[in-house]
Chain A
Amino acid sequence: MSERYSNEALLESFIYETTQLAEQLEQMVIAGESKGGFLPEEINEIFRIMHTIKGSAAMMRFQNISTLAHTIEDIFFVLRESSSVEAGDSLLSDLLLESVDYIKAELEKIVNYLKADGSASKIISALKNYLTALKKNQKAFTTNKDTANTETNKFKSINSNTERFLSQEVEGHKDCNRFEAVIYFEEDCGMEHIRAYGIIHELKDMVNSITYLPENIDTEESIEAIQTNGFRLYITSNLGFDALQQLLMNTVFLKALKLRQLNKSSNECAGSHINDLPEETELTELKFNKTKFSKTMFNETEIKAKNKERTAYHSMISVSVEKLDRLMDVMGELVITEAMMLKNSDLEGMVLDNFHKSARQLNKITSELQDIVMAIRMLPLSATFHKMNRIVRDMSKKLEKEVNLTLVGEDTEVDKNIIEHISDPLMHLVRNALDHGIENPEERLRLGKTAYGTITLKAENLDSDVLITVKDDGKGLDKDKILTKAKKSGLLNKNESELTDREIYNLILLPGFSTKEKVTEFSGRGVGLDVVMKNIESVGGSLTVESQAGEGTTITLKIPLTLAIIDGMNISVGESNYTIPIAAIKESFHPKDEDIIIDPEGNEMIMIREKLYPILSLYKIFNVRADALKYSEGILIMVSQDEKVFCLFADRLIGQQQVVVKALPEYIREASDQKGLGGCTLLSDGTISLILDIGDLIC
């Protein structure tokens, strides 16, 4: 394993597992903090987590991370052993969270092929100080002597067999041989004193007596002596030289063995002392650590829950996102190719019952396959939601507000690609709620509210979208303030009396908008919400704001389940094909020329059920030839996006089709700033259709 970095698979595994563990630790700390301490089961879990990180990091030669983990492991070892010390306090939680941040930061560097060279010395010394204080506190309480004794007694009896054996004087073996053996262990084999102990254990049943040097093999202090001078044994036995040599040669990590037979003498074997030993050392009783290997009390239900989690874990497999993306691509090609085959013009007019039967079967299977592939890429929002815990915890501490975060529907699943785009916006919205929305405890009590505020993060499915709401019970949005600011920044394009509440609230989504007087560390710079909007819109989602002064604000994100395949309506204009997402279509109809109205600025509009809607002619927008120049010759399709409704004018509808969205090629996007296109796709006859971006068209 000397070529650490060149082993990608190992590194990836390390990064993946350590990230999981660090996040698990973070959640446990936050949960523990709100409970007021750690349960014994949790202490054990954290101990194991740090133990694992310590080991893996050391294997991958990330010494800083390993040492940090080791220090925390030591703390939790002490906590585990002593039931009489308070299990965790806020200082420990802070230190643990700092450590989590450090580990995450280093992992980030590693992921990006940078050196993980961050210094952990400050955190480590703070942790060491904590440990020292902890041990001092612990000494003040007596350890549970009884259980300690039963364990150590058990040990004693095992060992005193060995000891008694070792120090017993041999009786009546007339022809026993005496040997001197020196064993040298290989470098870096580790814990040489235990290896020495192992040798004694192996030999004791086969020889008559053993004395050994160094004698203190029960402590690590003997390691150096063993490394320098070897482990020396004086053995009396009936075994011959060869037999003993063979036994000793079985020692694992044996670098060298020096074995010689000393004078054998029946006198000596009859029980008198062996005189030519440098010193007859009294075999000291093997000491043991006072800290017992304690069995923690498990909460029955918690154990069951953990077991369930574990079995669920077993039936999981982690797959690289690259492979999933490729799977999606090929799936998309399959959908297109199937359509091309089934709707092939060659087949027109033929009677092909059996073929169609098979075709239907094929279609059924590919649909199912499609659903499964989509489902594979779906991930629950829980990980994203849980990240918010940390933010709420840190911010509420800093701002001195008390806030509870409630999560609803975290099992709701969303495509992996989309999840990555939701995380930052959500964080921003949660921060806003905490910073602007929730009042401080005194204020809340004054207003007759509970001292702690509540932020609710909710996710639920709605048709082919996911709705995520961030709701707070804070002071709500101030309409007047918003209007004033908007006027000042010249952002109003309508008479303020004509604005609905919703429109007023939506003003805060405009770039450069912020009613905060001061810029704080968290917000106020006015670059937040419009960036949130952009992020949401880039995945085809939308955002709405609702608020009640004094009661709170609710922000709703509507996000599509997946980007890649949409139900589309194909239309044509001349020889050009376009596809409109079905979700955006309200209705379509053949207009009569008399229904068209032209407004003072020359824009064409149509009146439907006493409402006026603007008309956008596709051939004008895209500058293509059209067959239908008069409205009565073509078709109007009413579409809507984010409450904006208008009508598109095209030649004719071709038909509904599930299309695979492909992004517009780079060169097209660069060459033209043509608006209104959200991608392209292949129709069943192999021609290209441009997918319309409804929201973009109306701007």
Chain B
Amino acid sequence: MKRILIVDDASFMRLAINEALTNNGFEVVGEAEDGKEAIEQYKLLKPDAVTMDITMPVMSGLEALKEIMKLDPNAKIIMISALGQDTQVKEAILNGAKSFIVKPFQDEKVIQVLNKILEN
């Protein structure tokens, strides 16, 4: 089973994504509430992929993305974005994010993206 790290400051979102993943054959190995924690969890858990919210306190998803890509250029991170965050998503792509999904989303979308980026 592929191991995923979920990063979002809203506990509701983490729960929602966790459920979607767990019900579809993924293993959620950790959750983080902000960018800083995300980096620590990544180092500790070395997940197969990460779902990364963009807007977070302490350190944003973008910053965390950059740091994690520095640590592990092969990191597979998908950004969770909202409408209107064009600039951030573009910057994320430029900094190595594999893909993104837009809130609100259905379960299938997360699964689809993760499957896609993990098949390589």
Contacts and interface: CB of A to CB of B under 8 A. Distances in A.
To the question of whether A and B form a pair in one complex, the answer is yes
Q: Identify the interface centre among A9, A51, A220: most chain B CB within 10 Å of its CB.
A: A51
A2 B105 CA distance: 10
A294 B57 CA distance: 14
A52 B112 CA distance: 24
Interface in A114-139: none
Contacts of B103: 55, 58-59
Given A252-B113, A253-B112, A310-B33, A56 B99 contact: no
Interface string A259-273: 000000000000000
A48 B59 CA distance: 13
A51 B33 contact: no
B82 A289 contact: no
Interface in B23-37: 33-34
A7 interface: yes
Contacts of B102: 189-191
B82 A51 contact: yes
Given A1-B107, A190-B102, A194-B100, A55 B13 contact: yes
Given A1-B107, A189-B109, A289-B86, A48 B55 contact: yes
Contacts of B116: 250, 252
A434 B90 CA distance: 54
A13 interface: yes
Interface string A52-91: 1011101100000000000000000000000000000000
Contact of B93 (A10, A44, A197): A197
A94 interface: no
B83 interface: yes
Contacts of B101: 189-190
Interface string A164-190: 000000000000000000000000111
B96 to A, nearest CB: 10
A18 B13 CA distance: 11
A307 interface: yes
B106 A250 contact: no
Contacts of B100: 191, 194
A198 B117 CA distance: 14
Given A7-B19, A288-B87, A306 B57 contact: yes
Contact of A191 (B12, B15, B86): B86
Contacts of B117: 252
Nearest to A17: B12
A110 B85 CA distance: 30
B13 A10 contact: no
Contacts of A18: 12
B44 interface: no
B87 A293 contact: yes
Nearest to B113: A252
Interface string A288-319: 11000100000000000011001000100000
Given A56-B10, A191-B81, A250 B120 contact: yes
A577 B10 CA distance: 55
Interface in A309-360: 310, 314
B88 interface: yes
Contacts of B19: 7, 9-10
Contacts, number: 108
B9 A48 contact: yes
A158 interface: yes
B1 to A, nearest CB: 21
Contacts of B99: 198, 252-253
B69 interface: no
Interface string A7-20: 10110011001100
- The contact size tier of chain A is 35 or more
B15 A54 contact: no
B117 to A, nearest CB: 7
Contacts of A189: 101-102, 109
A201 interface: yes
Contact of A13 (B12, B58, B105): B12
B101 to A, nearest CB: 7
Nearest to B94: A158
Given A51-B82, A198-B99, A253-B113, A17 B10 contact: yes
Contacts of A54: 82
Contact of B16 (A52, A59, A188, A191): A59
B104 A310 contact: no
Nearest to B15: A13
A194 B89 contact: yes
A158 B58 CA distance: 26
A7 B23 CA distance: 13
A191 B89 contact: yes
B74 interface: no
Nearest to B115: A252
Contacts of A314: 33
Contacts of A9: 15, 19
B57 A48 contact: yes
B54 to A, nearest CB: 9
Contacts of A293: 62, 87-88
Contacts of B86: 191, 193-194, 218, 220, 289
Contacts of B9: 48, 52
Nearest to B82: A55
A252 B101 CA distance: 10
A190 B83 CA distance: 8
B118 to A, nearest CB: 11
Contacts of B106: 1-2, 188
Nearest to A253: B112
Given A14-B12, A252-B113, A51 B55 contact: yes
Contacts of A250: 116, 120
Interface in B1-57: 9-13, 15-16, 19-20, 33-34, 55-57
Given A201-B94, A220-B86, A310-B58, A1 B120 contact: no
Contacts of B62: 293
A-B pairs with lowest CB-CB distance, top 3: A190-B102, A58-B104, A252-B99
12 contacts: A1-B107, A17-B11, A51-B55, A55-B104, A56-B12, A59-B105, A155-B91, A189-B102, A250-B116, A250-B120, A307-B58, A310-B34
Interface of A: 1-2, 7, 9-10, 13-14, 17-18, 44-45, 48, 51-52, 54-56, 58-59, 155, 158, 188-191, 193-194, 197-198, 201, 218, 220, 250, 252-253, 288-289, 293, 306-307, 310, 314
